[in-house]
Structure 1
Amino acid sequence: MDSPHGAAVKAEDFGLKGPRGWAFRGIGLDAAPGSLIAVEGPSGTGRTCLLLALTGRMKPTEGHAEIGRHRLPKKMAAVRRIAALGPVPGINDLDQSLTVAEQLREGALLQRHYGAPIRSLLRPRAERRATAAARIEAALDAAGLDLATLPKGERTTVRDLERLEAVRLSVAIALLGSPRLLALDDLDIKLSDTERTEVWALLRSIAARGVTVLAVCSEAPADAVVLRTGPKEDGGAPEAKQPTGAAGTPKITWGTRAKDGAEADREADADAEADADADGHAAVEKDSGERKDAAADAEKPAKADDGNDSNDDSNDDNDDTKGADDALAEAGRA
């Protein structure tokens, strides 16, 4: 398997807005090729959306990013060609009914059809098979998955794999395409402390081979470039927070927490009430009949705003659906 130079990952005021508000916003990043990047934060703070946006699977709403000199959102297709997805639940789940060997062959087949140059399809079948076998062996070695240690070897079904083994298999499949950026979601879910240590060691070894790694997690290691999603707990500037790792570790960047529907509705109601109060004070010197008319008129702008918000949400739904379609379209390539 080739080990291409990793992709630099840069972002400035990067944000994505969905139908319920901002999934993430204000993200800034400047990571060198071959970096280990950790997106840290609680569940529900836009971590997965950020991962999919940085890999060209979701279209951002504001700001821009550059992945290996391909600028987002304009060059999303180019970014998808160099960025592979490891395990991302709901996007590229492993087929539980297949054996490990079948899953690997399927990944190699998809890569040959969608990721390889057209001229490679013209080579003799025996040569193509030998090339695919060599790539699978190299990918398994890079992912640290020894098929001989599995209960039934390569005939072990995916459903019988341990969580860490399944992660290694997903990583191996992603590496079949020799990506410059490898992205993984929910990295530390259902893993023990010992297994977390092992999987971070795996990602460090992949980064050492020259592939940039982007991983979503609950707790990032001290030696990673850290992006934190969610609210700023101390209200300070992003530069005020520094990781406790080795000297020279990049600064932590904060994103904003996505608002749920209830919170957005409360804010809309509060704005409408504030507008009504302002109009009521302006009409305080009029008779009681005029005050009733003013109060009725004060409600009209609020209702009109609600209509516009509905249209905006509809547009956001279209954008979000478009981004989800991109994600699902690229699941086979990862």
Structure 2
Amino acid sequence: MGGESVGTETEEQPHGATVVVDGFGLKGPRGWVFRQVSFRAEPGALVAVEGPSGSGRTCLLLALTGRMKAEEGHAEVGGLPLPRKMAAVRRISALGQVPGVNELDPAFTVAEHLRERALLQRRYDGSVRALLRRPAERAAAARARIDEAVKAAGLDLDALPKGERTSVRDLERLEALRLSIALALMGRPRLLAVDDTDLKLSDADRAEAWALLRSLAAAGTTVLAVCSEAPEDALRITTLSGETGETTPQASGTQASGTQAPATTEATTTETAASEPGAGARPAADTTTGATDADRAAVGETAADDTTDATTEEGAADALAETGRA
């Protein structure tokens, strides 16, 4: 990164968050999960974290969205330093479905998921003036936010087997992915992180999934997507499974603007033990944009330093470890 200095972003800058990573590393109980990750992505970039299962992809995604605490190097998301401002980064970022962290409930219908997220969003980021609106006005505002997110995610409710009353268990993989993205978009995040983007998708569905993420990036949101194989037009960050020490990134300090990326841009990392159940660090609680002081205190923040104590949410961490993925 050449000692690059990054200042805090201002309101005049694009909606998407700039992501700057320099020598970033996370170590679990059994060794390094990833190490020496360095890259730069401008607002509205499409960043693809590719590599085999167990190579630290998901943990890197969680660390860059403030859900896991890195031990080495530093990163900034929207001008907010990691790991010192983890909670602040969580408030400007959102996760699609991540197994063991924020999974869709298979028994819920699509409508139930959407309504629940709209209610939570109103609680956390609603102004006092908004809370004083009449019930009919609040309901209309929630419906408008749902419609906006569903449209942006390309989720056609009428095309589902039972419309919005379709249970999550009855959704095709691509439609479940669209639903998880729609839920994430309700918080209007500056950084959207999507795990297992191309998992169990046909070639046609994979093309649709990447087209969706490109459209979100083109609209200004910075997108970070874990995948097994990155598309050519994305900023590629490659993770590698390994048994020993660190590896030096093949390219660092690379910039990506919008969905344009330099050819064969890669940064490599090493994962030593996270492919085994129980390995890796623990993810922090997934908080919604605009969390209250009480919510922030619950995850161990202070006014001067809002990192979590070795990160929390042990149940989510155990579930993540049980998947055998990192």
TM-score class normalised by the smaller sequence: 0.7 to 0.9
Work out whether residues 230 and 258 of structure 1, in 8 Å CA contact, stay in contact via their aligned partners in 2: no
Deviations 1:263-293 (A, max 9, x none): xxxxxxxxxxxxxxxxxxxxxxxxxxxxxxx
SS at match of 1:229: strand
Work out whether residues 16 and 44 of structure 2, in 8 Å CA contact, stay in contact via their aligned partners in 1: yes
Match of 1:253 among 237, 260, 267: 267
Question: What residue in structure 2 maps to residue 166 of structure 1?
Answer: 176
Provide the rounded CA distance (Å) in 1 between the counterparts of 2:72 and 2:130. Answer: 39
Q: For residue 121 of structure 1, report the CA deviation from its aligned partner.
A: 2.0
Select the structure that is richer in helix.
1
2:58 counterpart of 1:48: yes
2:220 counterpart of 1:210: yes
Query: 5 Å matches for 1:287-306?
Result: none
Work out whether residues 18 and 79 of structure 2, in 8 Å CA contact, stay in contact via their aligned partners in 1: yes
Work out whether residues 56 and 274 of structure 2, in 8 Å CA contact, stay in contact via their aligned partners in 1: no
The structure with more radius of gyration = 1
SS at match of 2:212: helix
Question: What residue in structure 1 maps to residue 80 of structure 2?
Answer: 70
Work out whether residues 84 and 181 of structure 1, in 8 Å CA contact, stay in contact via their aligned partners in 2: yes
Structure 1: tracts of 5 or more residues without a match: 263-318, 330-334
Q: For residue 326 of structure 1, report the CA deviation from its aligned partner.
A: 8.7
Give the superposed CA RMSD: 2.8
2:207 counterpart of 1:193: no
Aligned sequence identity (%): 60
AA matched with 1:185: D
Structure 2: tracts of 5 or more residues without a match: 1-13, 277-306, 318-326
Work out whether residues 48 and 216 of structure 1, in 8 Å CA contact, stay in contact via their aligned partners in 2: yes
Structure 1 246/21 Cα, relative in aligned 2: closer, same or farther at 3 Å? same
Under a length normalisation based on structure 2, what TM-score does the superposition of the two structures give? 0.75
Work out whether residues 36 and 248 of structure 2, in 8 Å CA contact, stay in contact via their aligned partners in 1: no
Provide the rounded CA distance (Å) in 2 between the counterparts of 1:152 and 1:236. Answer: 51
2:311 counterpart of 1:323: yes
* TM superposition outliers: structure 1 runs of 4+ over 4 Å: 326-329
Work out whether residues 81 and 115 of structure 1, in 8 Å CA contact, stay in contact via their aligned partners in 2: no
Question: What residue in structure 1 maps to residue 250 of structure 2?
Answer: 238
Deviations 1:131-172 (A, max 9, x none): 110010111110001111111111111111111000001100
Q: For residue 190 of structure 1, report the CA deviation from its aligned partner.
A: 1.1
Structure 1 238/327 Cα, relative in aligned 2: closer, same or farther at 3 Å? farther
Match of 1:122 among 132, 137, 142: 132
Query: 5 Å matches for 1:260-279?
Result: none
AA matched with 2:114: L
AA matched with 2:78: G
Question: What residue in structure 2 maps to residue 27 of structure 1?
Answer: 37
Question: What residue in structure 2 maps to residue 180 of structure 1?
Answer: 190
Q: For residue 256 of structure 1, report the CA deviation from its aligned partner.
A: 1.4
- The more displaced of 104-113 and 247-256 is 247-256
Provide the rounded CA distance (Å) in 2 between the counterparts of 1:254 and 1:62. Answer: 15
Deviations 1:31-61 (A, max 9, x none): 0000000001111111111000000011110
Provide the rounded CA distance (Å) in 2 between the counterparts of 1:320 and 1:177. Answer: 22
Work out whether residues 22 and 75 of structure 2, in 8 Å CA contact, stay in contact via their aligned partners in 1: yes
Work out whether residues 235 and 260 of structure 2, in 8 Å CA contact, stay in contact via their aligned partners in 1: no
Under a length normalisation based on structure 1, what TM-score does the superposition of the two structures give? 0.74
Question: What residue in structure 1 maps to residue 301 of structure 2?
Answer: none
Question: What residue in structure 2 maps to residue 81 of structure 1?
Answer: 91
Question: What residue in structure 1 maps to residue 148 of structure 2?
Answer: 138
Provide the rounded CA distance (Å) in 2 between the counterparts of 1:34 and 1:261. Answer: 31
Deviations 1:55-103 (A, max 9, x none): 0011110111000001111111110000000121111111111111111
Question: What residue in structure 2 maps to residue 275 of structure 1?
Answer: none
